[in-house]
Structure 1
Amino acid sequence: MSEWSMVNSYNHLGCAVGQFDNARGFDLSVKCRTLTVTDINNKRIQVVDDQGKYLHHWSVTVNGLRLCPLNLRRQDNEVVAAVVEGCAVLYNCPNVTDFQGITVKLLHTFGNDDLVFPRSILVNSKDQYVISDVGRQRVTVHDVYGKVLRAIGHSEDTMRFNWPYYMCADSKGRIAVSDSHNRCVKLFDEKDFKFISSFGENELTCATGVCESLDGRSFYVGD
């Protein structure tokens, strides 16, 4: 069995810039070696470099209300997509290390009528947004304008979720959804979101985080 050890840790609990209070969702930029992080209780998103040095932040404000960002994903070199309390938001945030003179701007919000408590967001190969929603116990696929194209796992669906938490897209064209209270991870085809299989029913107690291993042969699951 492999032995894991902490390589580094940085930035302490607090509300000053560069500090975090319930940092949960993050996205790694391989190009710039930066982390974009949801700082939930401080109701902001922060960008730090790979050594933890503070680079930039912005408050998550929708219709005049500061909201908690729950998860995010960089869509491309210009846009960051995030889920907050009750909706999804798109920000114009360049993938850079020098933010001097840059103001992050809110581009679009969607999902107010469709989302209750979104937990995780992905951007698929078609530039569609895939969102898990523990409030409605389902996963929805949205087009670039936010319109719902598909909903999976709602109350009338035999493929029901019970608190779908975090998701990941793997190298085989599948989306893995950690179905926490059903104690498993479910795999779907990214193209049409057809159910493929599930695993972990006899091993997991509350599946939350999920990501693919580097060799693409397995998944890491937070339980």
Structure 2
Amino acid sequence: MVVICEYDNANRKNNRLQIFNVDEGKPINSLLQGQIQPLGVAVTRDQQSVVVTDCKEKRVKIVSLATGSVVAEIGKGQFGWPYGVAVNSKGHIIVSDAFNDSVAVFSAEGKKIRTFGSTGSHPEQFRNPYHVAVDSRDKIYVSDCGNNCVKVG
């Protein structure tokens, strides 16, 4: 299974999560069509849900793969433009905020653990951090669009 964010600014009904069969490359399901504007998606550690950034409501949503429904929301009122998302080995949810030039780390239950970054070009600063990823040792990698680099935290 592969989960893809489809964000279409011109035709909002195409905003959705698409689930594909890996072996055949064919779509098998579509979730939250027209209800979200997804920019980033990550599968939870238990592989029962996905975590998706929703720039429409400026928050992160956890969506059950079994039911296709939103089971939790994280960060209401805390993001300017949530963009990338990753889940580390502890189940922590890492979210980049392209508007606030920061990255937030939440527990699997949605409690904010920490935030790092500010606006600028120094090693600990960002200008439009978009995508995030984690490696097997839980190092955080952030694509810093405005500074044309990738930063490791």
Larger Rg: 1 or 2? Answer: 1
Q: Percent sequence identity over matched residues?
A: 26
Higher relative contact order (Cα pairs below 8 Å, separated by 6+ residues):
2
CA contact (8 A) 1:89 1:108 kept: yes
The answer for the alignment partner of 2:11 in structure 1 is: none
The answer for the alignment partner of 1:167 in structure 2 is: 132
Matches within 5 A, 1:147-158: 147-155=111-119
The answer for the alignment partner of 1:70 in structure 2 is: 39
Measure how far apart 1:60 and its partner are.
Answer: 5.2
2:74 paired with 1:117? no
2:102 paired with 1:144? no
CA contact (8 A) 1:60 1:68 kept: no
SS in 2 for 1:181: coil
TM-score by length of 1: 0.59
TM-score by length of 2: 0.84
SS in 1 for 2:37: coil
Q: Distance in 1 between matches of 2:47 and 2:98?
A: 29
Matches within 5 A, 1:5-154: 34-41=1-8, 42-50=14-22, 51-59=24-32, 66-75=35-44, 76-85=46-55, 86-94=58-66, 103-154=67-118
Measure how far apart 1:124 and its partner are.
Answer: 1.3
The Cα offsets for residues 156-188 of structure 1, whole Å up to 9 and x where unpaired, read as 9x7211111112212344211111111221111
- Aligned residue pairs total 142
Measure how far apart 1:155 and its partner are.
Answer: 4.8
Shift in CA distance, 145/80, structure 1 to aligned 2, threshold 3 Å: same
SS in 1 for 2:47: coil
The Cα offsets for residues 58-101 of structure 1, whole Å up to 9 and x where unpaired, read as 1257xxxx22111100102211111111000001114xxxxxxx
Gaps of 5+ in 2: 9-13
Q: Distance in 1 between matches of 2:146 and 2:119?
A: 15
Which residue identity does 2:128 align to in structure 1? W
SS in 1 for 2:61: strand
Q: Distance in 2 between matches of 1:179 and 1:68?
A: 21
Which residue identity does 1:73 align to in structure 2? A
